[in-house]
Amino acid sequence: MRTKQLSTFFFLFTLVVLFALPESTSAASYVNNNQVYTYEIMEQDIKELAQAYPDLISYKVIGKSEYGRNIYAVSLGKGTSVVQVNGSHHAREWMTTMVNMNMIDQYANAYKNGSSYHGYNVRSILNNSKIWFVPMVNPDGVTLQQFGLKKFPSSDHAAIKKMNDGSMDFRRWKANAKGIDLNRQYDADWNNICCSPGRPYFKNYPGPRANYAKETITMVDFTNKTKPEMVVSYHSSGEILYWDFHQTGSWYDRDHALAKYIGKTTGYSLVYPKGYQSGGGLTDWFISHYKRPAFTIEISPYVGETSVPLSYFSSIWNENKTIGLYAANEGHKLFLTKYNPVKAAATKKVNDAFLASKSLRPYHTSNLKTTADIKATTSFISLYNKTGSLIKTAEQSLPGLTKSDRDFLSQYIVEAKSRKLDAARFIDAVYVGDQLLEQKGRFASLINQNKIDDNFVVQYNAMSSSINKAEQVMSRIYGSQYRQLTRDKYISPSKIARESVIYEVSRYNLLKIIEKELNNEQLEQIEERFAVLERLEDRSVQIKEAGNKLYPGKYPDHPEIEEQLVTLRDSLIQQYKEIVGIDETVFFQEIEQLYADYESLTTISSDLSILDSIYHAEEQVTFIDESSLDAESKVLYDEAIIKLSELSTFKEVVLLGEEILVLQGEIEAGQSDEQKLALVNEKQQLFVEKISILVNESIKQLLQETYSIQ
């Protein structure tokens, strides 16, 4: 179903601008149009508007002026397409900042109220688009024009005054505060700009080179980062509209149609250049560099070399109030003409990646019938690599999409990545598994050399580590049945190879510990360690018998290795006997005395000292080499073994009886359950079996009375 969705997913955008919405009737109130609009007022208004509309308006400082004032950019809207509106490139033209700020103010108010603004559906436009305003490109120049020298360092007063032909009247000031005309600074036929005074001046000086002034550098960098579809740059005065900078063909026709609409809306005359066109302006650079439309709008009737009177603002605003919305709406249309092919290409790339990822699945699922099918074929690896490349290409196609389209397509990329990850885990498992089988082969060769030593143990431990690693890798394989099939191929045979010598290795390790302790005469645990060794020897026989029943022939005996272990054991036993001085005659006498003490028992409890003596005797007997005894000693040895067997059985019965008493006490205390009752019954049966083995009838009776078990 999702594949069908994706394959039919195409670009259908419905851009509705005019709706039957209530018309905005109440003007917004953050911008005061009845005052000289200063840098400081603008700064405060920007912050208040951002606070009033936090989900719609944001701002940032995009650079600094030559004298360190902030150059602000204000974002209005939530869409993907971008247009730019700016003002006050020229100092005396600060009323254009008011136009910018009123657009922000009134459009935000209409958006919040859900109302139409002079025929424009503001919410629709600003949900599709984002307008970046740079209300005051030249804050130093504006401040100088409005306040004169008092807001500048006294050390610069003479230089600034000189650029103004010695006059203290700065009402005509047009440049930035360093005497550079910012709208003659951009890299658009800059070398051919006319009418330069040749030095920093209140107007027309284009600077020593293009993009020299900090303000110009800021605007170029910001424009390159945001890449607007259209730029509207406000200036004053003259009620004219510049729009043409060497466009031709359909490019010219497109921009001309947009300019005519703006001209019709504002009532301003379009300028049609004839012959020479002086460049250097922001819109000149933008048109030539991006091949996108840009408009320099000169507001107000011509007022000469000064600022536009405040009394003109009402009519100026009436002429320009919808231009920002028009630019955003048309910019979005331009965006879509480029965007639809981009979206189609992205959709195809995502679809290719998704379908490739689906093709990976059978290689590590349905194609696997037996362990022989567990392999990473060349075609599988090739498709895996191709899928990775397709996913990467698909991801790279997403950044240019709208958020909703990006989110939609991202679902399929996430799923494709998940399928690729499943394939990667299987491929990893096969790689690790093949390495494990190679290691198993080397280990089997080592076993067949019939020599156990430290290197043998090292290789055994390495084998164990590799098995653990392989199990971890294979635990991540997709599908339980495929995990099991992979384990059957790799883990099971490797474990069998390891377990076939597990007790040989365990015995060897223990013997090396005993050897070290004997050499250092650390004898505290020696007897206990020899007892453990004896149990390991018994267990070694048992595990081979059980293993060969399950896997016939997989748990072979290794007589030569066994001989090495026995030889080492016997030599260590002899070494221990020599150190501690075990005397068989004394041992036989101790058993005789211990048995006499046993026969004279009249009470039984868990703290009988005889129990420790029996345990000690059991350890001691392991150090007597029966084959080295003479005939007389052999008779004494056999008698001692019979008596020690009786004593050992007695010890086991006492320990069982004590366990039964504890369990019965818990049951009587109300801690009873079926499991505990069954355990008591099981131990009582074992008690009866063990006590029946005892020879001494009086001891039998004493045990039965002590533990109330017949």
**pTM for the model:** 0.59
Reply yes or no on whether the pLDDT at 20 is more than 50. no
Final residue of a domain: which of 321, 355, 375?
321
Of the pLDDT bands very low, low, confident and very high (cuts 50, 70, 90), residue 6 is very low
| 676 within domain boundaries | no
Look at 625 and 162; give whichever has higher pLDDT: 162
Reply yes or no on whether the pLDDT at 26 is more than 70. no
> Residue 627 has what pLDDT?
77
What CA–CA distance (Å, rounded) separates 134 from 89?
10
At 63, which helix (H) or strand (E)?
A: strand 57-64
Query: Residue 383, SS3?
Result: helix
Q: What is the mean pLDDT of residues 514-534?
A: 90
Of residues 385, 386, 396, 384, the one with CA closest to residue 350: 396
Query: 71 vs 52, 132, 285, CA distance in Å?
Result: 21, 13, 20
Question: Rounded to the nearest 5°, which phi and psi values hold at 178?
Answer: -100, 10
**How much of the chain exceeds pLDDT 70, in percent?**
96
Reply yes or no on whether the pLDDT at 583 is more than 80. no
Mean pLDDT of the chain: 92
Cα three-residue angle 254-255-259, rounded to 5 degrees: 125
What CA–CA distance (Å, rounded) separates 201 from 594?
122
Final residue of a domain: which of 560, 580, 600?
580
Retrieve residue 630's tokens.
């003479």
Same domain, 516 and 451: no
pLDDT in tens, 388-419: 999 999 999 998 888 889 999 999 999 999 99
Same domain, 368 and 424: yes
> Residue 95 has what pLDDT?
98
Q: Is 322 left (phi over 0), alpha (psi -120 to 50) or beta?
A: alpha
Give the 3-state secondary structure of 140-172.
Answer: HHHHHHHHHHHHCCHHHHHHHHHHCCCCCCCCC
What CA–CA distance (Å, rounded) separates 410 from 391?
11
| 454 within domain boundaries | yes
Q: Is 557 left (phi over 0), alpha (psi -120 to 50) or beta?
A: beta
Place of tokens 């001494």: 696
Q: What is the mean pLDDT of residues 95-121?
A: 97
Q: What is the mean pLDDT of residues 543-560?
A: 91
What CA–CA distance (Å, rounded) separates 177 from 309?
22
Reply yes or no on whether the pLDDT at 4 is more than 50. no
Same domain, 73 and 167: yes
pLDDT in tens, 174-196: 999 999 999 999 999 999 999 99
At 75, which helix (H) or strand (E)?
A: strand 70-77
pLDDT in tens, 77-88: 999 899 999 999
Of residues 140, 146, 150, 189, the one with CA closest to residue 171: 146
Same domain, 265 and 403: no
What CA–CA distance (Å, rounded) separates 674 from 215?
88
> Residue 3 has what pLDDT?
41
Same domain, 312 and 447: no
Question: Rounded to the nearest 5°, which phi and psi values hold at 73?
Answer: -120, 135
E-strand spans in 292-450? 294-299
Quick check: 230 and 331 in contact, CB under 8 A? Answer: yes
Residue type, 128: N
Residue type, 440: K
What CA–CA distance (Å, rounded) separates 427 from 375?
8
> Residue 13 has what pLDDT?
33
Retrieve residue 52's tokens.
């009033």
E-strand spans in 237-344? 240-242, 269-270, 294-299
> Residue 628 has what pLDDT?
76
Of the pLDDT bands very low, low, confident and very high (cuts 50, 70, 90), residue 647 is very high
| 10 within domain boundaries | no
| 189 within domain boundaries | yes
Same domain, 258 and 118: yes
Which long-range CB contacts under 8 A does 705-709 form with residues at least 24 apart? 706/603, 706/604, 706/605, 706/657, 707/657, 707/660, 707/661, 709/657, 709/660, 709/684
Same domain, 180 and 89: yes
Same domain, 150 and 287: yes
Reply yes or no on whether the pLDDT at 12 is more than 50. no
Quick check: 86 and 97 in contact, CB under 8 A? Answer: no
**CA 148 from centre of chain:** 56
Of the pLDDT bands very low, low, confident and very high (cuts 50, 70, 90), residue 273 is confident
Our count of domains for the chain comes to 3
| 585 within domain boundaries | no
> Residue 578 has what pLDDT?
79
Of the pLDDT bands very low, low, confident and very high (cuts 50, 70, 90), residue 22 is low
CATH number of the domain bearing residue 156: 3.40.630.10
Same domain, 348 and 408: yes
Final residue of a domain: which of 321, 352, 368?
321
What CA–CA distance (Å, rounded) separates 647 from 595?
7
Give 131's strand partners: 76, 83
Same domain, 448 and 560: no
Of the pLDDT bands very low, low, confident and very high (cuts 50, 70, 90), residue 536 is very high
pLDDT in tens, 288-342: 999 999 999 999 999 999 999 999 999 999 999 999 999 999 999 999 999 999 9
The β-bridge relationship of strands 57-64 and 70-77 is antiparallel
Of the pLDDT bands very low, low, confident and very high (cuts 50, 70, 90), residue 23 is low
Of residues 228, 226, 219, the one with CA closest to residue 188: 219
| 326 within domain boundaries | no
Give the residue numbers annotated as catalytic, written as ranges.
Answer: 298
| 18 within domain boundaries | no
Question: Rounded to the nearest 5°, which phi and psi values hold at 148?
Answer: 75, -155
What CA–CA distance (Å, rounded) separates 269 from 319?
13
E-strand spans in 254-401? 269-270, 294-299
Same domain, 254 and 347: no
pLDDT in tens, 594-622: 999 999 999 988 778 898 888 888 877 87
Give 75's strand partners: 58, 132
Q: How far apart are the first and last CA of the chain?
A: 74
How many residues are listed for the chain in this entry? 710
DSSP code at position 271: P
Domain that holds residue 126: 39-321
| 153 within domain boundaries | yes
pLDDT in tens, 342-356: 999 999 999 999 999
Look at 686 and 2; give whichever has higher pLDDT: 686
Query: 64 vs 22, 166, 494, CA distance in Å?
Result: 41, 27, 70
Of the pLDDT bands very low, low, confident and very high (cuts 50, 70, 90), residue 357 is very high
Same domain, 409 and 449: yes
174 contacts: CB under 8 Å, gap ≥ 6:
90, 91, 92, 93, 141, 181, 202, 203, 204, 305
Of residues 244, 251, 332, the one with CA closest to residue 281: 244
